[in-house]
Amino acid sequence: MLCLGGSRMDGCQMSGEPNAPLLGTSRLPTPEKLIALMDMDGAQGNEREELGAQGVADLLCVDTAQGLEPSLVQQRVKAYGSNLIKRKEPSTFMEILQGNLQDLIVWLILGAAVMAMIVDAFEGEELWWAAGFTTMCTVVGVIIFSTAFEYLRGRQFIRLMENVESFNVVRPGGAPGVKSSPSLRLRRAGLGDTPQVVLRGGKMLTLRSQSVVVGDVVLLETGDVPPGDGLLIGTGDLELDESTLTGEAEYIAKNQFEDNTIFAGTTVRSGSGRMLVVCTGDMTHAGKNNSLGDEEEEEKSGLEARLEDMAEAIGYWAFVAGTAFFFITLIEFLILAAAGLWEHDLHSTKDYFSVLFDLFVAALLVLIMGIPEGLPVAISLNLVLGAKEMEKENVLVKKPNKGEIMGTVTTVCTDKTGTLTTGNMAVVAIDVCGLHFADILKLKEVVPKQVAEHIKLNLALNSTARISTTSHPLSEDSESGSNTERALLRILATMFLEDFNSIRSTNTIEWSVPFSSTRKISSIVVDLLGHSTVYSKGAPEVLLQLCTTQLDASGKVVPFSDAQKKTMLHVADSKGMRSIAIATRRLPKSFDIAQAPAGSPLQAGLPEGSPENELSFVGILCLQDPLRPEVAGAVAHCATAGVNVIMVTGDSLSTAQAVALGCGLLDRSRGDTVMQGPEFRGLVVSKDAQSSDDSNSISINQEAFDKIWPSLRVLARSSPVDKYLLVKGLMNSELYKSGRSDIHPDLQARLRSYDAFLLMVITHAGGLVFFDLDMKYWRIAVNGDGRRVEVVAVTGDGVNDIPAMQKANVGVAMGGGHQAAVEAAEVVLTDDKFSSLVMGIKWGRNIRDAACKFIQFQLIITFVFMLVLLVEVLVFMNSSPLSLVQSLWLNLVQDTLGALALASDRADTDMLKRKPISNAAPLISQRMYVNIVAQTLFQSCQLLLLAHLYELEESDTVESDSDALLHRWWDYAMGRVDDSDSDGSGYNSAIVFNVMVMQTLANQFCMRKIYGEINFLAGAKDNAWFIAVSSLEFGLQVRAH
């Protein structure tokens, strides 16, 4: 049978596969067969090796030279599915409701309600059903409200993730007219909807990853993310980062002779080649890992985990306290009843049963009010709302938990180009043949024709960038290449009025070495009228060392001395701009370009016979990138907020210093320092490791590093290894680490045994020291002294930035950066502005503040209720001051509505006037502790006085029988009437309840400020959501009473 491309492929017709999908007249392997072939460790690997890449292509009926026929694409989709990973559907309302109904507390309350009806009926109460029925209705209402709250919170999260998935940005190096969409869910599986160059029917097409099908031939280059699992075909040679699948940090070499397997979700770090797609979507290893991950809980933030631990611990102790409370009061009752000292009459068994029931209800109320179910829900809601607010500030948080970490950032390692500057590079001066041209348009009139030709060909051919031109109009989306490369192409069109496309179409490149961050130069060899000519360009300090001659003003080749090189380097550095040197060489006739060695790292020197030896220097182009107008203010905000900013750039030291001085980042009066990459590497790593490109294997001299980084503001001429080492050293630094070494190990071991919510307060150095006893987050904060462990955020826009971004606590990608960088980042700045990063830090701090506000708010309510209950029952031997219905209502205000109100507070600029607080620091600060104690004592005393001093006379209002019955039932249910109380104590209970709710509402306003601010109403009027929720709480309370 003849298949694609006219080649015979017997493997297209498979026997013994009864369930194999049919495509036309061909029988193809089943999805299970393909999954087994791509198994990383299974026995099918031997079969894959026996078949080889070509054998698998024959099995799939694909001619690798022509690619898949377009007419078969839809059939492949039907057979193997589309290249999508199925998303786990969010929980429905009924699923959440079912989960809430499984809560033990719910059934205890319902059981108590039934018991209340039995007791009242047994005592002959006229409305024996009122209290129990109302309790049941209230429980149902609270459960429905809480379920709706949790459901809406989940929908908010889904909408946030959909915004992430629909985020479209221009990718340098991307395909014409294609925008990419990084998907959080797909990224987790390794399948972002990125542009792919696909060979179909002999034509190169640019498609989205989701449009790639089994059997497609995909072209891979540096920075690409494979769209599926497959095999390397042809003579390609790649290095892949497979850490997302294997966890291994080392890059894996791929070629046709050894390991030719390629997996979705990995990243091409170097090289190029063609890939035959064998598995897509859920068939891939990434898809299988994703389905396993769906069975697990979503990754929680530090605050979520700590608050869940705190809620679990408090719940445990609340259960212990409730149980102990019941037995203590029971023993007290039995002793007093036996001694005849019980203040109420006990004439019959029902009296004893009634007292026992009251004691059980009081113990149950300890559980209801003691378990802080709202804590984890509140922080989860706050993370989602915070991420949505960050999105409005052009900060796209792909994982909400990273929004919290943004607020704890202490150091930002930022790029220069496009982040601190506009990224609109422009050539503003040229030094050629010893002549300086501030007006670049005059260059063509002055320099010899052959020199101008060398400049033109170097700029046009020694680049893969693309820009829009008059003869070849392109959309902005289809421009590609770095800002520098595009600026050089624009000056080509300005000076020579020629289209780079026409120059490239009429010249053949015989040999090339692309630019890399380690070599810092790029070179090509072009055949010009039978003569092989070398064109090189790149960093002046690198390229000039390869030059032995230069072109003079007449275009002649003359010697180039070391003194002249130093002069040119000084000229380039003194301008404070980005400088690009260009050079050329005419190869001798005897030079065999086919035998030329591949480009190698320049640290080891060029190999003999390299075309890049003995170059002739032509000139230097100076490019300027204007500073963003808002950067100076953003840098000043960082300084006030206690956030260090270090600019890490590949530009020259003078260029970097000029930008740093312009934005206020560098201040010599503070002792700020600048450094170049090689110097930095020489100080912090051993000599043997200085030439290594494997950043993971390089160890840092931490002591030497800690002497450098506190004052370091600019790291120029840095490589990706330098950037990685900087981040690694910062994260390992304990220079400003909080903590005390003089705490005895035995005490530390004892502290570890305590539950996370406990706090130990001791006196030390004249101040209170708060220990967070969760040793997972062990830190000591002494009166806010600002000592901290470094939390690092790294910005990047290219493939080479990925290792540093992944190493950092928060990887921040520029929206206009390379697709691979955006995929690897947790946060994306959609407008590429440094000021947006500062806004992200501000909103991140607001997330922690909101959590602390709610903790303080809830603990005050809990402690007030517990204290009043203990005094009333144990001291005055009364029943609980609140009924079950009242407690449920107060719990609703405390857990749900309070969380909604406090989570809606907006971030203000005052948050950037405080030093960063470690995410591991205790959640209850010294000031909060004082607030909680003071408010608890004040409110408890107030309630106890009201409970015993106020007596209200019964109303003389005449009502109809039906109205009287209705009001009597509601009053009875809410605890305002008790037929056995002739002293009006039931009304006192109602007063206590009303005052307690109003105290809670007032406290809701006071808790908006947790740093000692006097005006706690500041900003409240601008928060419509807070006012609306508070008004709703007040209105419902007034309507109920």
Q: Which two tokens stand for residue 29?
A: 């392997």
Closest CA to 909 of 1021, 1024, 1019: 1019
In angstroms, the CA 933 to CA 887 distance is 22
Indicate the Cα dihedral angle 471, 477, 483, 484, nearest 10°.
-30
Position 88 confidence tier, pLDDT thresholds 50, 70, 90: low
Kindly state the average pLDDT of the residues 699-710.
90
pLDDT digits (tens, 9 = 90+) for 120-161: 676 666 666 766 677 677 778 777 877 887 777 677 667 666
94-157+301-388+841-1040 belongs to CATH 3.90.25.10: no
486-513 burial, b if ≥16 CB within 10 A, otherwise e? bbbbbbbbebbeebbeebbeebeebbbb
* Stretch (H or E) spanning 252: strand 252-255
Q: Where in the chain is the domain with CATH 3.40.50.1000?
A: 408-421+628-739+779-832
Model pLDDT, residue 688: 58
Statement: residue 674 has pLDDT above 80: yes
CB distance 130 to 973 below 8 Å: yes
- pLDDT confidence bin for 191, thresholds 50/70/90: very low
Q: Percent of the chain scored above 90 by pLDDT?
A: 16
Provide the mean pLDDT of the chain.
76
Q: What is the pLDDT of residue 422?
A: 83
Q: In sequence order, what DSSP letters do the residues of 86-125 get, joined into one string?
A: PPPPPPPHHHHHHHHTT-HHHHHHHHHHHHHHHHHHHTT-
User: Is pLDDT of 398 > 90?
Assistant: no
Task: Note the pLDDT tens digit of each residue in 616-634.
Answer: 999 999 888 888 889 999 9
Buried b (16+ CB within 10 A) or exposed e, 778-808: bbbbbeeebbbbbbbbbbbbbbbbbbbbbbb
Residue count of the chain, please give it.
1041
Asked which of 60-74, 717-731, 989-1003 is least confident by mean pLDDT, the reply is 989-1003
DSSP per residue over 325-344, as a string?
HHHHHHHHHHHHHHHT--SS
Average pLDDT over residues 240-244: 76
10-44 tens-digit pLDDT: 445 433 344 444 444 357 888 888 988 888 665 45
| Average pLDDT for 721-731 | 92
Tokens, residue 407: 């607020």
For residue 110, the model assigns a pLDDT of: 78
Domain 4-85+191-294 class, CATH top level:
mainly beta
Average pLDDT of the residues in 88-97: 78
Residue 741's pLDDT is 38
Start-end ranges of CATH 3.40.1110.10 in the chain? 425-439+449-463+482-521+528-578+611-624
- Helix (H), strand (E), coil (C) string for 606-660: CCCCCCCCCEEEEEEEEEECCECCCHHHHHHHHHHCCCEEEEECCCCHHHHHHHH
Architecture of the 425-439+449-463+482-521+528-578+611-624 domain: 3-Layer(aba) Sandwich (3.40)
Across 437-451, 696-710, 980-994, 1002-1016, least confident range:
980-994
Cβ(804)–Cβ(792) below 8 Å = no
Bigger pLDDT: 895 vs 15: 895
Angstrom distance (rounded) from CA 631 to CA 664: 9
More confident residue, 491 or 521: 521
| pLDDT score for 570 | 81
pLDDT for the residue numbered 125: 66
Residues of the chain with CATH 1.20.1110.10: 94-157+301-388+841-1040
**Beta partners for residue 270, in sequence order:** 239
Q: How confident is the model at residue 523 (pLDDT cuts 50, 70, 90)?
A: very high
Looking at the chain, which residues constitute the CATH 2.70.150.10 domain(s)?
4-85+191-294
pLDDT in tens, 824-836: 888 989 888 899 9
Per residue in 468-486, pLDDT (tens digit) is: 665 444 444 456 667 788 8
Name the strands in the sheet holding 395-397, side by side, starting at the edge strand that comes first in the sequence: 395-397, 827-829, 810-814, 792-796, 411-414, 644-648, 712-716, 673-676
Mean pLDDT of 327-356: 79
Please choose, from the candidates 315, 302, 288, 449, the residue with its C-alpha nearest in 3D space to the C-alpha of residue 383: 302
Residue 86's CB: how many other CB atoms inside 10 A? 14
pTM summary value: 0.69
So what CATH class is 408-421+628-739+779-832? alpha beta
